Amino acid sequence: MADIDSEIGARKLLDREAYHRLLAKRDGLAAMLLLVRAAFHVTLLACSNLLFSEGHVLAAGLLLIPHFMTWSFLGWAGIGHELFHRSVFSARWLNLALFRLFSILTWNNYGYFEVTHPTHHRSTLGDGDLEANPQGRLTILGTLALLTVDVGALWRRVRILTLNAFGAPPTDALAKVFAPGSEEFIKLRNGARGVLAGQALLVATCLWLGSPFLALAISLAPFCMTFPNRTLAALQHFNLSADKTAGDYESSTRTVVLDPIIGFFYSDMNFHLEHHYFPAIPHYNLRRVHEVFGRGGKHRHIERGYWNGVKLLAREGFFTSRKTAGPGSGA
């Protein structure tokens, strides 16, 4: 995959000893970070559920706001992405299992990502990059949905997952990649079935425990108040151009310097140029790579601070008054 490119980049930007030191997984640190994340959501869910059961509906809803704003970071613009690269824990099976679990919890078809993401790294913003090209924009209504509840995204996600689970092939740009009967299509179909089955099990478990409130608070979370996650994901590549030389990512990829709290929830994906050069380096070591890049003047596109990043997106036309073309919707 892109690990080969990372080795090439390592020889140019880091000496071999430093590269292998940063490549090392720290299972204890990774587990602690994951437990902190889990404790954050479990505490908010437990407290809000208790408040709701005692009739404090408004207080329960207010307590869910930070839960909603950060839940989507479990997915592909967050820790799920790092787990896909098998770079968080030393045990590859654990990375894979958690990647698929978090994909299910965020209603994301892991079979789709397992096919498209390696291409995204090989040819960032190139013709075959279905993740970041063409680059979608947000309408006013779309922005309001991300700030509240994105009912349209929920409907589209459930509809497409259901179609894929029953064997309906994708359309548009995805048709060639996920041709019926191909290995890629089988991954797509099985992933859709896994997500739907996992969500059904989650809802059934919450109902068995006697808490429809928990079922809604968890299952709907990926579609509630996702503006931070969506804008940070857009900042990775928005309005940039494909790189002319394979293995270089300065033209296509943007780094955003974040405060420690947002950086924690985003799993250091804000160091995105660093990640594209070294996808095998654990996210908790990318700050060290960022320091090396800074000294070497490697960043062509860098933004400092989340709100400065949002302002950049506004200047670049990410927020529009009309609907524009976005990524294919067949998976």
Torsion, Cα 171 177 181 186, to 10 degrees, reads -100
Please determine, for residue 251, whether its predicted confidence score (pLDDT) is greater than 80: yes
User: What residues form DSSP beta bridges with 249?
Assistant: none
**Spatial distance between the Cα atoms of 3 and 118, rounded to a whole number of angstroms:** 10
Q: What are phi and psi of 319, to 5 degrees?
A: -95, 115
Question: Which H/E stretch holds residue 304?
Answer: strand 302-304
Which residue carries 């405060």 as its tokens?
A: 259
Torsion, Cα 141 146 149 155, to 10 degrees, reads 80
pLDDT at residue number 322: 62
- pTM score, two decimals? 0.92
**pLDDT tens for each residue of 300-322:** 999 999 999 999 999 999 998 66
Q: What are phi and psi of 145, to 5 degrees?
A: -65, -40
**pLDDT tens for each residue of 9-32:** 444 678 888 999 999 999 999 999
Burial classification of residue 68, based on how many CB atoms lie within 10 Å of its CB (0-12 exposed, 13-18 middle, 19 or more buried): buried
pLDDT at residue number 161: 98
